[in-house]
Homo-oligomer: A and B are copies of this chain.
Amino acid sequence: MTWDLKSDRPLYTQLIEQIELKIFSGTYPPGSRLPSVRDMAQEASVNPNTMQRALAKLEEDGLIITHRTSGRSVTEDKEMIKNSKSKLARDQISEFIEKMQMLGFEKQETLILITEMLEEIKK
């Protein structure tokens, strides 16, 4: 359970992203209970207030549910989790394509480049 936090962006936004990833990847399965705010904050070496802020946003999005005095849990709605994950993936892809286009690489070129790099990695 590693938390990879950099200083180039607000911590709470990075926390949101990484908790999302833990949910999408199954590290935090649907319906499972989350550690307490204080515990998660300590795990990520972050102030409880900052973790609280990230969790509040995730609840607003419906990914996690808060039980006022007895902790939080991941939503049981697997369909919703799946959709959120797909949307994030699509966003990543179009953002990537856009950046490559700004760099002057056409869609076809981009595809060739990424294929080549994947081949190299395989070795």
Interface residues of A (CB under 8 A from B): 8-10, 13, 21, 24-26, 85, 88-90, 92-94, 96-97, 99-100, 102-105, 107, 111, 113-115, 117-118, 121-122
Contacts and interface: CB of A to CB of B under 8 A. Distances in A.
A13 B115 CA distance: 29
Nearest to A85: B103
Contacts of A102: 21, 25
A123 to B, nearest CB: 13
Contacts of A122: 107
Contacts of A13: 8
A1 to B, nearest CB: 14
A89 B107 contact: no
A117 B99 contact: no
B107 A118 contact: yes
A113 B10 CA distance: 30
Contacts of A118: 97, 107, 111
16 contacts: A8-B13, A9-B9, A21-B102, A24-B104, A25-B104, A85-B103, A89-B103, A89-B113, A92-B100, A92-B103, A93-B113, A93-B117, A97-B117, A97-B121, A111-B115, A114-B114
